[in-house]
A and B are shown apart, each in its own frame.
Chain A
Amino acid sequence: MIWHITKREIYDNLNSLRFALTTVLLLALMVTNAVRHLREHPKQVQRYRDAVAESLNQLTTHAEESLYKLAQYGPGNFYKKPSPLHFCANGSEPILPDTIKVDDPIVFGTVGSSDSYEETVVLHGIWTLSYPDANLQNKDVGPDVSQVDWGFIIGYVLSLLALLFTFDALSGEREHGTLRLMLANSIPRHTVLIGKFLGALFSISIPFTLAVLVNLLLISTSSEVHLTTEAWGRLGIIFCLALLYTSLFLALGLLVSARVQRSAVSLMILLLTWVTFVAFMPSTLASIASSFSPAVSFDKYWKQRNPVQEDLWDKYGNRLWSEASDEETLRAKSGFYIDKVDNSERRSEARLRYRSSQVHRARAITSISPATLLQHLIEAFAGTGFERHLQFVENTQRYARQLREFVVDTDRGDPESLHIINVREGMSQKPISPAAVPKFEDTFDLSQDFNTRAMELLLLGLFVVVLLSGAYLAFVRVEV
């Protein structure tokens, strides 16, 4: 019986104007998305490859020169690998930095006498990780719009279309009197409701699936974009997410449609709910949430940072400027370099952590809106967005540790070295084979994403269940 009603619904919808408009709209959006991706993605990948090749080149040069050079200059900048699923969610990538810089060592020197210009003591320092601020590279003064990615299409357009498909599902039939006719047969009400729900879901899935297929067809036929099996798996998950999210709005539509007498009023209520929950609430709540914790100004940050740096100079004191190269002096220099780098990295990491905790708080609060939930989920599975950025940061930190350990271990293998790391006189001067040096690889894996996002997934499912049962309760008690 359910199937019967579903079929009727689908036939009804297939012939309607809204079905045609939906198909055209979704197709246009998905084609735009694919075209954009085909234009942008190869460029991005090329830029990434060039940048990585340059970093690798630096690493090789330093390694071939000596272990000390490698310890001093480090591996060259780190670059975030562009996700092949960038078209699903662009994840505000223009705002997020795609680089983590490896700062060159800062050299301090003293000039002995003014005539010679010969530096007597030079402190060389070693490389430091620094996290560039967001948005600094973005100098665009054009209009501010969101990119048409799957997240936008599903989150905004598909949800609006879902409401347009269900607003008159029950109230419209009641207006026409067909509902009474249908219920005069021995059909239980929940069957009608489920039939309606499935019918609407199928009829909206048809244009959506079509648009998605066209989109993927366009993208996968291009020789420059390669989608791996894992990427297809992720796309499958995103597609299911889209259906879940659409069901949420279908259920909402049914709920309101069951309670309200006239379909025009029902659409109005639905639209207002949509505008409030999808369009406005995420941003407003984010602004409110982010204003809870005060921002730390740059000058304040410097003021906190400088005393610590000065303490360091005091701690190692005169030993640093000594011209002698006995072991004690070298050890002091080594300790100074390591402490200095450690300090500055710890500070910038703390700053980053403070900022990301602010962002996390704002994100948690905005999760009340299903649109934000969906956005987070799609970003997670597409491998873009803020969480991905943090993952990238974590990857580089892990690699930095690994490389530093590698330097220590290799140095230990050289019998001529004094094993005083980061000081020229105390370290192995031998070249090392670049192949032996660990290389940085930016990775992201599916199972991890799935675990961290399970909560949000459950929340989204819960929304659907609550709304559906709400619609059932409303429909059972309503008089026809």
Chain B
Amino acid sequence: MLLTLIRRELLDNLMTFRFAAAVFITLLLVVANTVVLLKDYEQRLTAYNTATQESHQRLRGQETYSYYIGKLVAHRAPNPLSIFNFGLDKRVGNKITVYHAFVPTIWDAEKHGADNPFLNLFTSIDIALVFQGILSLFALIFAYDALAGEREQGTLRLVLTHPIRRGDILFAKYISAMLCLLVPLLISLLLSIVLLTTSTTIFLSTNDFLRIGGIVLTSLLYVLLFYLIGLCISAMTRRTSTALMLCMFVWGFLVLVYPNMILTAVETTPQPEAYISDHQQIKQMWEEWESARKQFLRNDPVLGPLSRNGEGWGLKLKGVEYSFGPREDKPSILLYFYQTGFHAGKIGAESEPQVPLVQDYHGFYSRGTLNTVNRTWLVRKPALAAIYIQPANLGRTLLKFSPVGLYDAATEAWAGTDLAGIQDFFSAVQRYRRAVLDHFDDEKIFESRQWFAADHGTADWDALPQFSFQRSDIITNAKRALPDLFLLLLINLMLFTIIFLIFVRSEV
């Protein structure tokens, strides 16, 4: 009997104008957007490749080790699944300098600079957004007359004259709606995957297909949730036109109004001004270390006395070609560091006895610097989390009161473009920095002559550990998506129960 009911519902739905419209519009939007997104991805990938090559060459062009800031750079490849949900993939910087004087974080990253940042004025649409807007609308359109319509036409009374349980009717409607809504979802996804596979730049692994499967599952639960909302309204109202209008109001509120309104009302923009004292503290640690360093130089009978500004550029070595002092002071991201160094092409013979002293000095300088970095990191890490991560998490949590927020969070997690996924990359960069520093330590590079001079052999960049980053495995993605997925499922069950209760008690 249940099968008959499902078949009837299915046939009823499939032969309608709205089904045709749903399939057609979803297909149109998804395919059009996939083409655009694919092109965008290809551009980002090209930008990534050129940037990687350029920084590779720039590093190799460096004869001494010390001036490697801005040349040893880790680049973040665009995530192919960002086509499904951009998340933070496009917004967060994709080029991060690896340097011993600071710990790299998301906020230190920059963009390759290949794109026109003003184009961010236009919101870009990913596939999740299309589903989020359009499929939820269709779910409501399928649902609004499911009960109210049958009641109006009197067919509901007819059906109930048979010995059929009311729960079965609801269940049949639920299942057939699921099947009907799966059609546009799957067809459009299939077409977009076909488009993706024809592209030569994009490679989807088995895991990626599983992730896409996760996105499909999430989309299905999300769409069914809206179907149940529609069904709930339909069970409560007498007239279809009222039901339809209410559905539209609910849709407008949940999809359009609530997410924007709640984040306008609640303050979730980062407030770095509140942590300016932490920045001062960090700055002070560096200044203490600077004065300790200058003290060291001043006390040294050979390297001191210093020049009038106390810098000691070049430490009086003959043959110094240029000196540099990389410095950053960004209160908004609590970044502060200060380094000095110089480059000598060929050290003059008369300075030769001085060289071991300079090498010792650099050993001392790097140890002290690393020590300072570690100390400042203890202040900087929690402060950054408080400035940026806490409000972001608050915003995301607030959004989850609408199914839209749940859906967005879950698909982001599947695609690996959520905050956790992006942070994976930066943790990898932090590990890489550690590896580079270990390498410097093992090979005594800080104390080596190649650190500042290019006459006795030049820097060997090929011996440096290579940076590589693998996106997290599917299990991690699933773990991150699961809470939201579970919530979606729970709301589904809850709504179904509510509708059942309303429907069982309502008079036909």
Contact = CB atoms under 8 A, between A and B. Distances in A.
Contact of A386 (B118, B241, B316): B118
B21 A134 contact: no
B388 A358 contact: no
A117 B309 CA distance: 10
A264 B244 contact: yes
Contact of A160 (B122, B244, B248, B332): B248
A291 B241 contact: no
A366 interface: yes
A142 B396 contact: yes
Interface residues of A, number: 72
Q: Tell me what chain B mostly uses at the interface: helix, strand, loop, or mixed.
A: helix
A263 interface: yes
B256 A160 contact: yes
Contact of A21 (B32, B249, B388): B249
A143 B263 contact: yes
Given A141-B92, A287-B40, A297 B47 contact: yes
Contacts of A275: 25, 133-134, 137
Contacts of B144: 264
A201 B66 CA distance: 71
B123 A146 contact: yes
Contacts of B240: 264
Given A25-B257, A264-B240, A134 B117 contact: yes
A299 B51 CA distance: 8
A217 interface: no
B318 interface: yes
A297 B245 CA distance: 50
Interface string A129-163: 00001111101111111111000100011001100
Nearest to A354: B116
Nearest to B384: A139
Contact of B114 (A276, A279, A298): A298
A213 interface: no
B306 to A, nearest CB: 9
Contacts of B317: 114
B418 to A, nearest CB: 10
B43 A140 contact: no
Interface string B406-418: 0010000000000
Interface in A356-403: 356, 358-359, 362, 366, 386
Contact of B141 (A133, A268, A356): A268
A157 B121 contact: no
B388 A139 contact: yes
B29 A280 contact: yes
Contacts of B257: 25, 28-29, 157
A465 interface: no
Contact of B392 (A28, A143, A279, A355): A143
A101 interface: no
Nearest to A21: B249
A39 B264 CA distance: 11
25 contacts: A29-B257, A32-B265, A95-B117, A95-B121, A133-B113, A135-B117, A141-B389, A142-B392, A145-B259, A145-B264, A157-B252, A168-B241, A268-B18, A271-B137, A283-B124, A287-B40, A287-B122, A290-B119, A290-B122, A291-B36, A291-B43, A295-B115, A297-B47, A301-B113, A355-B118
Given A135-B120, A139-B332, A140-B392, 14 more contacts: A95-B117, A142-B268, A142-B270, A143-B408, A148-B264, A164-B249, A264-B244, A265-B17, A268-B17, A271-B248, A286-B124, A288-B36, A297-B114, A299-B54
